[in-house]
Each structure stands twice: as C-alpha cells, then as structure tokens.
C-alpha cells in the first residue's frame, strides 16, 4: 500500500535532511543529493526535494501500518517545518481502506 504527499516549500532539501538525520539515529536511512529514504520497521518513506517542494512517498504492507507511517512522517515534518505550518494531504489508501491505484 502506498500514499504520497507534497509540501510546497523552498526548504525541501533542509527538511529532507532533517528527517533523514533525525531518524538515522535509530533507523536505516539514506541521503543522496535531492533524494532520501527512511526504512521504518513498519514501512518505508522516500523523499525527493526540489527548489520549490518536498515530495514524500510512503509504502507499507497493511493499511494500519500505512496509517502509522503517515502519522509519524507528518508529525515530524510539522515539527521541523513549524514556521510554515505544513498541511500535508496524503493521496492514497487511508487507514483501514484497501488497495488504491497507487498500489499497481
């Protein structure tokens, strides 16, 4: 199951690095230029930063795990980007729903 969200910001690279470094203390992460990833025990988050946005994609095996992953990523991004008051709108399977077109 997958979901994705976009944050329009000029600080996408900064937020991506902050997320990867923060979670990298306890989890496997990677950061390479404009992209990064975080492996959680319950799923994976992939990030892509441009000059004007931060794209996030999360993937998990089950709807509850996907919901948990979206919640963890959202809450941490809200902390790091609090001055911008990010309002992420995830596109994909909401918690408890079945597969979406993103799963294909």
Please answer whether residues 90 and 1 qualify as being in contact, where contact means their C-beta atoms are separated by less than 8 angstroms: no
State the pLDDT at residue 102: 35
- Name the DSSP class of 104: -
**Would you state the pLDDT for residue 97?**
42
Tens digit of pLDDT per residue, the chain (104 long)?
999 999 999 999 999 999 999 999 999 999 998 999 999 999 999 999 999 999 999 999 999 999 999 999 999 999 999 989 888 999 986 544 443 333 33
Is 82 inside any structural domain? yes
66 falls within a domain: yes
Quick one: 56 exposed, middle or buried, by C-beta within 10 A (0-12, 13-18, 19+)? buried
CATH value at residue 25 = 3.30.310.50
Residue 59 confidence (pLDDT) = 98
| Total domains present in the chain | 1
pTM for this model (two decimals): 0.84
Range of the domain at 50: 2-95
By three-state DSSP, how is residue 6 classified? Answer: strand
């Amino acid at each position: 199951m997958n979901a994705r969200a976009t944050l329009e910001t000029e600080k996408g690279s900064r937020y991506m690095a902050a997320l990867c470094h923060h979670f990298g203390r306890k989890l496997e992460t990677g950061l390479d230029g404009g992209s990064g990833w975080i492996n959680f025990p319950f799923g994976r988050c992939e990030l892509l930063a441009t000059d004007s946005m931060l794209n996030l994609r999360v993937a998990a095996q089950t709807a509850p795990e996907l919901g948990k992953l979206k919640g963890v990523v959202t809450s941490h991004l809200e902390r790091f980007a609090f001055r911008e008051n990010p309002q992420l709108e995830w596109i994909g399977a909401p918690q408890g729903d079945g597969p979406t077109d993103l799963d294909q």
